[in-house]
Structure 1
Amino acid sequence: MRSIVIAYEDKYCEELHRFIKRLRNDNGLPGICLESRSVQGTGGFINDVAKLLRTPLKQTKLPPDRLVCLADADRPQNLAPDAPVAPSSDDNDALDRWVFELEKSWWDFLVREAHLHAESTARLRVICLRWNKESLLVASPDALVDYADKHKRRDQLQSLLDACNPRPTMLADADFILRYRKTDSCMDNVFQAIENRNYKKGRDDEDLLRDQISPNEARRAQVLKRCPDLERLLRELI
């Protein structure tokens, strides 16, 4: 059986991993051994990549056929010192070119600094998620509204979303990553409206994925459409 490991930058990645596995099932991809590992921060990639490439998996008793490093794209210099700066223009093509250049810069950095040999290098892939894990949450405003409803704050959150420019409920899927780049700030506003507190990464993100987004096929499909880097990720998980 083919084996793939996804290395996540976040310490808490269980629900994101389950979400990605559900996306694979939604798209009819073949069964594989797909495991997760956390490197606990962007600096952990350079420390762990060689070990992850050579460590046998429990199920197969062999090192993974592929290692996919998945990181947020909002702080590119944390991935590679010479990473290009994101373009500020609302140009999808320019943004696509930038993320490809960022991934190439990051891949080169990992190969060079981790002293990977040719066989390991051939099994290494990197994907940068625009813009961060919070993008997956903001991409599904219906999930946020349902969460607010459970706290009897539906009207307050709906007012917040209606005041956004552009409104996430009305935005075309293809424009989402162009117009919503500071999604961590968005989530602070969401939780201020619902619970009068700031968003807590590692808890709220995992809860929303588990309870509001991952179980709902329509919401999974919407997030996939609005976050094209997930589509690229799925192409590496075959």
Structure 2
Amino acid sequence: MSEPLHDERTDLPISDRRELHSGYVMDLVSEAVDLGIAGEVRREFVRHPGAVAVVALDDEDRVALVRQYRHPVRAHLWEVPAGLLDVPGEPLQAAAARELAEEADLRATTWHTLVDFFTSPGGSDERIRIFLARGLTGVPESHRHQREAEELDMDLAWVPLQDVVAAALTGRVHNPSTVTGVLAAHAARGQGWSPLRPADAPWQPAWHRD
């Protein structure tokens, strides 16, 4: 391979598109796509607005984790703060800062792009950008977000980065943004943070909803 390893966006011909279900957050769609030599196939998948997540790392190399109930998997999961891209036109980093404040009552002065990923590319178009946030301070109590639903009783814990990495590798934490984010942070820290990208780095390959 002469070029650096990279994914490539490919827009194949779509002959038919149907919305099977329109949900509160996500939709279920069906598309007939021409794969060329492999012929036309029909695929059903979840259309998702996308999300952001934040590995918030303090001066003691501790990660801010929140404990949230996730009904589809019937479990309380330890997670890095995260949320949907559900505000039209909101930049990714601004969305991440909003979620960090809403879920963990934290602000950050230093932001970098840590890693991007598709959560389940065989069945959903959901993408997530994970940021690394440092220079943390608390949001004044008078300005804190009023939580509701699953977020109402979330616990906040500060856990050493190496302990979260160990929990991921031994199968004790399962949230994909947490696992992906802490492993990426651990790898980047081992290289003196040199792999970090700017907070406004473009998503590659260019991603958009049709």
Q: TM-score, normalised by structure 2?
A: 0.23
Report which of the two has the higher share of strand: 2
Going by fraction, where is helix more abundant, 1 or 2? 1
TM-score, reference length from structure 1: 0.21
